[in-house]
Structure 1
Amino acid sequence: MPSRRRSAVACLFCREKKLRCDSVQPTCGNCATKGLVCQQGILQPKQRPTNHRIAQLERENQALREQYAHMQKSSPGSPSISRVTPTSPIEATHPEARDSDPTNKPPPYHGPTSTAYDDSTLLPEAPRGDAPLAEESARQSLFAAAARQRQLERLNLAAGRLDFDGVDPAIGMHLLSIYWSRQLYTAQIIYRPAFMRDMACGGPYFSRLLLNAILFVVSKHYPRPELCSDPDDITTAGWRFRQRFTELLRLMFDQSEITTLQALLIMSNALFSRCDERSRSWLYAGNSLNMLIDLGLHVLPSDPTRLTAEELEIRKRVLWGAYLIDKIQCLFQGRHPLLRQVDFNTPLNFWDEYDELEEFQCITYAPAGSRPGVPSLNVTLLTKLCELALIIERIVGELYSVSTRDRAGSPSHMVTEKINADLTKWRNGLPPTVDYLSAPSPQIPLPQSCCLLALYNVLIILSNPPLVTDRNGGSNRFRPAHEGVAACTGAANQIAQILRDYCQHYSIASAPYMLSYATYISATIHAHIAAQKGPDSSAFQSLVFCRRILIEHTRLYGAAAKARANLDKLLERLQVVIPDGDLPNQNISNHLVPSGATRRDGDTLAAMELVDSIDPGLGVAELPSLDLSDLDLEAIAEGLFVDGDLHGWMQSLSGVCQ
């Protein structure tokens, strides 16, 4: 009897189960055993939903969400539809529920050119008629959660739940308080309610790597002997935190985590300003931004309801904080940006406004230690700083990029005018509580307001180069010399005024590095004016004042020492002599040194000595009537010459040795 031939195509059931199929029979044996209708000899591929069907299901799902939201709103006292992570002490000790949530660990991001790209996540979203109501609900829920978590911080500290990685809890909490009060753009990259909550329960938004980065950053402002590797040298404060950071980084460097990229970013900023380790600082920043892209934090999901209000706020804080640090490092180091505005779609709109009216703490800023009733304005300051960072990107890209220098006649007069117009518009949009110089009545400025206004004047100087080079190496005058020199001189004078005001109300010895950077830029402009006007001019007084501040800042910032060395080289070239005895070195007042810290004689200046060194009449009132009639403006413009390959004026302003 001839053998029975087996069909070349198995039935559907046998193919899925990978069984031997005798599909030549009317019903194969497998299907007969299971009581199934046998699709004999027919290959039926598995059905997959179409994009149209997926979009339809998404719209139905959204409609159900909206109905649920209306039901919740109609019930008195009902919770918001925006889920807020548990914050009670009991819930904080059981993080398993949150850790199992896939939204806590975003999948790696792949763009449209990748074979791993999934376009189903970018389907058009159904219209949302109640978007403003949902946003307001999210704002209120975040505010309430932040207020509750602020109370729980003290309870968790008293209960010993906070993980300080072996550091004395009292010292650790004080260092954290300094960090939240001082670091504007680096502190805001960490969402405090989530960090402090997860610090008590080992959640995803806390890590010991990030903790040690924070402690190292602020330890220079609290140099207690037990925190110094050398008790006689306050510059060694917090070095054990850096060693611990390096130890932990070896274990986490190859994993993209939100806390790791946060730690790398804030450590990058500290390594430049405090340690003057420029290459390592830049490499840390680059790796952190790569992690940010890998996690997809730069792209909002097409359906924001997939994330909680807290998760959306954290994404915005991390992204805009990274963008800020990138742009500011571009200025400090004279490098090109790594993260551009076109690379992300996250709006500049922060929901949690709890820190806006939080009382400002003068920890390490002023001898009094507090200013009752003064709001910190952290949200406003962060938003305005982000807006200024967008202009920084344009200045670097349109005025100082290599490709721009290679194009004949670039940058154009129109580019410069547009950037200056945007800077003016930004300044006019500042509230009086931030722009104290333009306020109708005198007021004491916030330290971060001084930094913000100083940075604005830095950008005025950078956006008004008197000369540029064409592609053949020749100079190209696109605006009269007096316009550029007047703009630069006015901005330098206003920086000096800001520094003077800062000295009157706060300790210049512990000023943020942003002011140190602005001090150097202001000094370079005053040096060119003083070279022509002589030692009796207000420009010379401002120059002496700025140089003394740089000397004072070398106690905390290694980059300030490099800037002062560059300034001295410039003064030598311009033949401007500043006698060392112009201002006697005096010990800084005892109230400027933290309790338990080591103070060395002869290396600091009293704050009021610095104030007295500047002409009291110098300030905003002098800016509209700058007297440039007796100056050789062409010579000054030549002195502020912008080299074609970014190794001239901008690099000298960034503090890089030439």
Structure 2
Amino acid sequence: MLEEENARLREQLRLVDQAPQQGHGQGASKRVRLDEPSKQAAGRQDSQSEALEYSPTATGQPEGSAFHGPSSGTAIGSSEAAHEETITPVGTNPPQMSGNDATQSIKDRLLAETVRQRQLENVNLRAGKLNFRGVDPQLGMNLLSNFWNRQLYTGPIVYRTAFMRDMADPNNGPYFSELLLYALLFAGSQFTAEAAAARTLPEANATGRQYRAKFEQTLHGSKGLIFKSEVPTIQALLVVSDALFSWCNERSLSWHYMGLAINMIIDLGLHTNQSLRGSSEPASAEATEVKRRLFWAAFVMDKVHSIYQGRPTRLHKRDPKLPIAFLDEFEELESFSSHTYSTQPMTLESPAYGISTWMHFSRLSIVADNIICQIYSEEGTTMQSSELYELAYGRHGLFAQLLDWVSKPKDISAVLPHFLSCGALYFSLKILICRPFLSEDHFVSEETTRVALKDCVAAALDIHDILVIYKQNLCFKTAPHHISYAAYAGASILIRIAAQKSSDSQAHSALRLCMDVLSIQQAYSHGSRRMMEILLRMMNRLGVHVGEFVALGPSSCLTDVPNESEMAEPVAAGPTMDRYIHNLLAIDEYWRNGGQGDLPISESDMNDIELPDVQWPDLDFDKLMNSFIFDPFPAQQDTSGLVSQNELFGLDFGA
């Protein structure tokens, strides 16, 4: 009986969903009065009440294409044709092959289509098929090129193949929209020559102002895009959220846009590996690729924003049923261009390794989610110190999860900015795990505290080494979020060491590099300004001085751009650099596993770059521990649901 009732309700919903389409014309334009039911009540006089109206075209997602989980009465029942998503190439019958042969066939088809569409981009541009909505076509293509180049670290939010093909279609296909176009143009404006030459932050922001205005007008316009979940709308919201977060001082609006995008992802069921309710056709390979790329890009972005803003994550590892597997591998071996990462752009003699790097980012973000939810949460603060220590250092704890990630093979060039960002995030997460144990709130024993402190110091020095590689090959002005945050996390540890050393120590030298990075970036990123403010307070309290650094205010204008003239010219990836970051990770895994047996690399491999020597035995342990005790200054924003236990989470603690 229950199944029959559910079937009856589903049929009613289907008929309701079809009603607007069947009445397209007169019925579709009819406005519904919300006070109509009151006319049926005897003796009721509602003539004085104002009638509220809404347009059916401004409602949310049709029930027939919305996602509902197993607990919902409208979910797919066991008697229906619920099925795991089957991938079918566009325009073909479902593959008859099985296993690896079928998957490889799909990969080949997607790769061939991407190669074809890349060739057609300039053809369509010259033919006038790409409508940039009033923007000069060549300028529009340049801005899109900037955006595609930055997707290597922000994540594959937009599937370029589908977007560019549908943009050239006179009727515009499902993966193109004006809203998304304006979002991409706005994001690409961050890396124009005008933005780089701007002497003030308002001047830099002005380069993309017109595109942002058009984005806002379209989002809140008469089409009601904000009320309906669609893939291009989700992509546009994520792109603008990232730009507002990294470029503009609008963290709250950035958080809001990303929240809308995540809600739409759930509404469409993009986090599952099943077709939507009511869909009897298997998903095309392209639709599956769009879904996977979009979801995992949102998943990683969610963790980055959570750490920076000190707020709960909204997508968790229990949510995704999608595998971390991308079928179109064109970006893997595509030549890497440094044109948005360097003052002297060039194409390196190295593949971009875009797919494998993003798979590593996705896996690492799952560990990041565990760290945030288990340590930096209300539950984490109420745990006994011994329980929390076991959670971090136990056999299956957070450190073990990091080591599982680092043990995976990574045949990637070390000088690629997105891979350096991945390594920087890894070492930053190490510090985030250890940092709570350096306070009285989570004191277990002197021995365990020493272990945590030593791990923090080791991670800070590894971050310094990554910054050295980045400095020798790329430009810090437009470095990814993970590089600036890693510089901040490393500096927060190095300051404590430098406080016990003379001014000519290598601890001071390593700290100065971290401060240089943030000093350069704060001219282009508001987040780096906040980091500089916290670090300078800390340095003042501990009496550490490594140079004349100033934290720019939120509304300050830069009159003297920090100088990067001492940086080496960009060079192609050499074998030493290719090996170096892998050696760092190998050494890290070796010592975390007890340091048994021979070193995983030769001693000569580690002598190519000079490592700072902090002379650990000479440090005063008690004095070092006391330097981690301070009172927070007032938080700049609400962090309900989480407790910021230190200066690294939420950027609201200081000296």
3-state secondary structure, aligned to 1:360: strand
AA at the equivalent of 1:136: Q
3-state secondary structure, aligned to 2:494: helix
AA at the equivalent of 1:253: I
**Distance of 2:312 and 2:652 partners within structure 1:** 14
CA contact (8 A) 1:228 1:236 kept: no
- The equivalent of 1:315 in structure 2 is 291
- The equivalent of 2:365 in structure 1 is 389
1:540-584 alpha-carbon deviations (Å, 9 max, x no partner):
1122221122111122111111111111111122222344299xx
Compare 180-189 and 278-287 and name the one that shifted more: 180-189
1:139-186 alpha-carbon deviations (Å, 9 max, x no partner):
111011111111111111111111222211111111111111123243
- The equivalent of 2:424 in structure 1 is 454
AA at the equivalent of 2:182: N
Q: Is 2:512 the counterpart of 1:544?
A: yes
3-state secondary structure, aligned to 1:341: coil
CA contact (8 A) 2:438 2:625 kept: no
Identify which of 82, 87, 102 aligns with 1:134: 102
**Distance of 1:266 and 1:414 partners within structure 2:** 38
Identity across the alignment (%): 33
**Distance of 2:348 and 2:517 partners within structure 1:** 28
**Distance of 1:547 and 1:222 partners within structure 2:** 25
**Distance of 2:85 and 2:162 partners within structure 1:** 31
**Distance of 2:335 and 2:189 partners within structure 1:** 23
3-state secondary structure, aligned to 1:188: coil
Structure 1 458/380 Cα, relative in aligned 2: closer, same or farther at 3 Å? same
AA at the equivalent of 2:408: G
Identify which of 315, 325, 328 aligns with 1:349: 325
- The equivalent of 2:271 in structure 1 is 298
- Structure 1: give runs of 5+ residues left out of the alignment: 1-46, 51-103, 437-444, 583-598, 612-616
AA at the equivalent of 2:297: G
CA contact (8 A) 2:183 2:211 kept: yes
1:356-393 alpha-carbon deviations (Å, 9 max, x no partner):
11111121223442235321000011101001001101
- The equivalent of 2:627 in structure 1 is 639
Q: How does 1:510-589 map to 2 (within 5 A)?
A: 510-580=478-548
Higher relative contact order (CA 8 A, sep 6+): 2
Q: Is 2:615 the counterpart of 1:627?
A: yes
3-state secondary structure, aligned to 2:363: helix
Q: How does 1:330-409 map to 2 (within 5 A)?
A: 330-409=306-385
- The equivalent of 1:147 in structure 2 is 115
- The equivalent of 2:401 in structure 1 is 422
1:12-35 alpha-carbon deviations (Å, 9 max, x no partner):
xxxxxxxxxxxxxxxxxxxxxxxx
- The equivalent of 1:506 in structure 2 is 474
Offset of residue 526 of structure 1? 0.9
3-state secondary structure, aligned to 1:205: coil
1:224-271 alpha-carbon deviations (Å, 9 max, x no partner):
389989999234221111111111111321111111111111211221
**Distance of 1:200 and 1:315 partners within structure 2:** 22
- The equivalent of 2:575 in structure 1 is none
Across the two proteins, how many residue pairs are aligned to each other? 529
Q: Is 2:473 the counterpart of 1:497?
A: no
**Distance of 1:456 and 1:492 partners within structure 2:** 11
Offset of residue 191 of structure 1? 0.7
Structure 1 478/144 Cα, relative in aligned 2: closer, same or farther at 3 Å? farther
- The equivalent of 1:27 in structure 2 is none
Q: Is 2:622 the counterpart of 1:655?
A: no
CA contact (8 A) 1:355 1:376 kept: yes
**Distance of 2:132 and 2:335 partners within structure 1:** 25
Identify which of 255, 260, 283 aligns with 1:287: 260
CA contact (8 A) 2:490 2:514 kept: yes
- The equivalent of 1:110 in structure 2 is 68
1:454-509 alpha-carbon deviations (Å, 9 max, x no partner):
11110111112362779xx6744485232112211111111111111111111222
CA contact (8 A) 1:223 1:237 kept: no
3-state secondary structure, aligned to 2:385: coil
Structure 1 263/326 Cα, relative in aligned 2: closer, same or farther at 3 Å? same
- The equivalent of 1:614 in structure 2 is none
Structure 1 351/368 Cα, relative in aligned 2: closer, same or farther at 3 Å? same
- Compare CA radii of gyration and give the structure with the larger one: 1
AA at the equivalent of 2:624: I
1:313-332 alpha-carbon deviations (Å, 9 max, x no partner):
11111111111111111122
Compare 300-309 and 373-382 and name the one that shifted more: 300-309
AA at the equivalent of 1:390: I
Structure 1 406/600 Cα, relative in aligned 2: closer, same or farther at 3 Å? closer
- The equivalent of 1:604 in structure 2 is 562
- The equivalent of 1:162 in structure 2 is 130
CA contact (8 A) 1:467 1:638 kept: no
Identify which of 448, 451, 455 aligns with 1:487: 455
Structure 1 372/652 Cα, relative in aligned 2: closer, same or farther at 3 Å? closer
CA contact (8 A) 1:178 1:364 kept: yes
- The equivalent of 2:553 in structure 1 is none
Offset of residue 604 of structure 1? 2.0
Offset of residue 290 of structure 1? 0.4
Identify which of 200, 208, 228 aligns with 1:255: 228
**Distance of 2:342 and 2:85 partners within structure 1:** 53
**Distance of 2:445 and 2:220 partners within structure 1:** 52
3-state secondary structure, aligned to 2:227: coil
CA contact (8 A) 2:439 2:625 kept: no
CA contact (8 A) 2:76 2:82 kept: no
**Distance of 1:230 and 1:331 partners within structure 2:** 28
CA contact (8 A) 1:529 1:539 kept: yes
**Distance of 2:199 and 2:523 partners within structure 1:** 16
CA contact (8 A) 1:404 1:411 kept: no
- The equivalent of 1:585 in structure 2 is none
**Distance of 1:400 and 1:343 partners within structure 2:** 20
Identify which of 162, 172, 176 aligns with 2:144: 176
AA at the equivalent of 1:634: D
- Structure 2: give runs of 5+ residues left out of the alignment: 8-61, 87-95, 551-556, 570-579, 585-605, 633-640
**Distance of 2:201 and 2:545 partners within structure 1:** 37
**Distance of 1:460 and 1:640 partners within structure 2:** 17
**Distance of 1:646 and 1:154 partners within structure 2:** 49
CA contact (8 A) 1:268 1:282 kept: yes
**Distance of 2:437 and 2:195 partners within structure 1:** 51
CA contact (8 A) 1:213 1:241 kept: yes
- The equivalent of 1:274 in structure 2 is 247
TM-score under structure 2 length normalisation: 0.73
Offset of residue 602 of structure 1? 2.8
AA at the equivalent of 1:218: G
Offset of residue 121 of structure 1? 4.8
Structure 1 486/167 Cα, relative in aligned 2: closer, same or farther at 3 Å? same
TM-score under structure 1 length normalisation: 0.73
